[in-house]
Amino acid sequence: MSSSGADSLTVASRPSPLALAQTALVRSALGLGEEAVLPVENESGPADKERFVRGVEQALLTGRADLGVHSAKDLPGEMTAGLLIAAVPERADARDVWIGSGGSVGEIPEGARVGTSSPRRRAQLMAIRPDLVMVDMAGNVDTRLARLQAGDADGLVLAMAGLERLGRDSEAAFAFDLEQMVPAAGQGALVVQGRVNGTGLGQAAAINDESSFACVEAERAAVVAAGAGCDSPVGFHAVISGARMTIEGFAGRIDGSAWVRDRVEGDASRPAQLGRELAGRMLAAGAAGILADTVGT
């Protein structure tokens, strides 16, 4: 049972090693002990990334938990009724990394088999290295690393933040720069979710990083405005310098044959508007057709 006491908040988490590591960061920042964590299984339903959040959200909606922790990139663009983003702690490294032979994109062996189930990663890799062979590889980080060791692929593309949180970042050969691979919206960031007018919102606000929150807000707004989802071949990434925000976007066919990239810069105090502006420009430049063609593929 959740409680109204500041020292007895309950924080829901998926039970995977990475999810629990991420939740540990949040509950530590909140000054909570391990007993505060409520592991919840994924809800049954469509086999999409949203299944990763449904169980945690159900725990919030039923009052079994006060707060929930998600990878921001897994959270659907449209917020579930009755819930809100209570905080985004300081963002970790948002870049994607290569695990395998080669110290740069150009040094990845010709024809290498790349283990990834991400349409976004496939589209961007094929755009710059069309000789690579994509191998569908889902599962958590440990599962994919084990499959790499078993020879199911020659290399993997994973999020740097996830490897860092698991203490396995030394296995990365190199990080893709943002000109090579635009991260998924929210990648590297955690979201602390709560109920509207619920318990724990004040405590969560104390660990919020305003810059990270604004960047995630811009990226999520771009995803929604583009009509994209967690499994669409799109990436959006925002950064703030002073009072200015720059947000960059990518949308492409998963075979790398066509893509649209653009960026906008503006007042950092209006992140959602900047995200929508970028999405509108990209849709007009051809992303609408690209995304329409990828539906159901």
User: How does pLDDT run across 120-170, given as a tens digit for each residue?
Assistant: 999 999 999 999 999 999 888 999 999 999 999 999 999 999 999 999 999
Predicted local confidence at residue 69, as pLDDT:
98
Query: What are 174's strand-pairing partners?
Result: 98
Q: Rounded to an integer, what distance in angstroms lies between the CA atom of residue 273 and that of residue 252?
A: 23
Which of 241, 231, 246 lies closest to 178 in space, CA to CA? 246
Predicted local confidence at residue 217, as pLDDT:
99
pLDDT in tens, 181-197: 999 999 999 999 999 99
Percentage of residues in the chain with pLDDT exceeding 70?
A: 94
Would you tell me which CATH number, out of the four given (3.30.160.40, 1.10.3720.10, 1.20.1050.40, 3.40.50.720), belongs to the domain 220-294? 3.30.160.40
Q: Is the pLDDT of residue 178 over 80?
A: yes
Predicted local confidence at residue 79, as pLDDT:
94
Q: Is the pLDDT of residue 227 over 50?
A: yes
Question: Which uninterrupted H or E stretch holds 127?
Answer: helix 119-128
CATH class assigned to 96-175: alpha beta
Q: Is the pLDDT of residue 2 over 70?
A: no
Q: Is the pLDDT of residue 47 over 60?
A: no
Distances (CA, A) of 293 to 57, 85, 209, 215: 31, 32, 37, 28
Q: Is the pLDDT of residue 43 over 80?
A: no
Q: Which residue would you say has higher pLDDT here, 136 or 295?
A: 136
Say which residue the tokens 């994973």 belong to. 158
Q: In a 10 Å sphere around its CB, with 0-12 CB exposed, 13-18 middle and 19+ buried, how is residue 53 labelled?
A: buried
Backbone angles phi, psi at 157, to 5 degrees: -115, 120
Tell me where in the chain the CATH 3.40.190.10 domain(s) lie: 6-89+189-208, 96-175
Q: Rounded to an integer, what distance in angstroms lies between the CA atom of residue 14 and that of residue 139?
A: 14
**Rounded (5°) CA angle 171-136-288:** 110
Q: Is the pLDDT of residue 114 over 60?
A: yes
Predicted local confidence at residue 44, as pLDDT:
56
Predicted local confidence at residue 139, as pLDDT:
87
What's the whole-number mean pLDDT along residues 63-90?
Answer: 96
**pLDDT band at 231, cuts 50/70/90?**
confident
What's the whole-number mean pLDDT along residues 197-214?
Answer: 98
Tell me where in the chain the CATH 3.30.160.40 domain(s) lie: 220-294
Predicted local confidence at residue 49, as pLDDT:
60
CB 68 within 8 A of CB 192: yes
Q: Is the pLDDT of residue 229 over 90?
A: no
Q: Is the pLDDT of residue 1 over 50?
A: no
Q: Rounded to an integer, what distance in angstroms lies between the CA atom of residue 123 and that of residue 93?
A: 21
In one-letter notation, the amino acid at residue 154 is D
Tell me the fold of 6-89+189-208.
D-Maltodextrin-Binding Protein; domain 2 (3.40.190)
pTM passes above 0.75? yes
Predicted local confidence at residue 41, as pLDDT:
83
Q: Rounded to an integer, what distance in angstroms lies between the CA atom of residue 175 and that of residue 192?
A: 27
Task: Determine which of 210-214, 220-224, 230-234, 262-266 has the lowest per-residue pLDDT on average.
Answer: 230-234
What's the whole-number mean pLDDT along residues 201-230?
Answer: 97
Mean pLDDT score across all residues of the chain: 94
CB 265 within 8 A of CB 275: no
Predicted local confidence at residue 6, as pLDDT:
52
